[in-house]
Amino acid sequence: MTRSELIRQIADSITEIDVLRSSIARGTSERILLDELRDDLDTRVNRLSVRNFEENSRRYLEFTEAISDINADLQVTIDDVNNIVTTINNLKRLVGAVDQLIGIGRLIV
């Protein structure tokens, strides 16, 4: 998966998170946590966009595969407001996995 494809995939998840957030009352603990995680993920997407990666390296491929798998898990639960705890846990995993990928990239200057 290229960096552009990965960013697009995560951006699509952010959009779905926004839809989910709109169905949860402001000020509730779930909404506050979703807001924070959504902003964290958006920040990390911005960081991905200013980094170069060796897209054929083993580490890059492992990280992007893990991110894609976590994103798939998120997609299973994100449409079900009754499954908010699992969605939040998947979102935390996604943020952490993107952090790891950012760690192997080189800043574009």
* Distance, first Cα to last Cα, the chain: 23
Q: Rounded to an integer, what distance in angstroms lies between the CA atom of residue 77 and that of residue 55? A: 29
pTM of the predicted model, to two decimals? Answer: 0.91
Per-residue pLDDT tens listing for the chain (109 residues) = 999 999 999 999 999 999 999 999 999 999 999 999 999 999 999 999 999 999 999 999 999 999 999 999 999 998 877 889 999 999 999 999 999 999 999 988 7
pLDDT at 79: 80
Query: Does residue 74 contact residue 87 with C-beta atoms inside 8 Å?
Result: yes
Q: Where are the domains of the chain?
A: 3-107
pLDDT value of residue 73: 93
d(CA 16, CA 106): 29
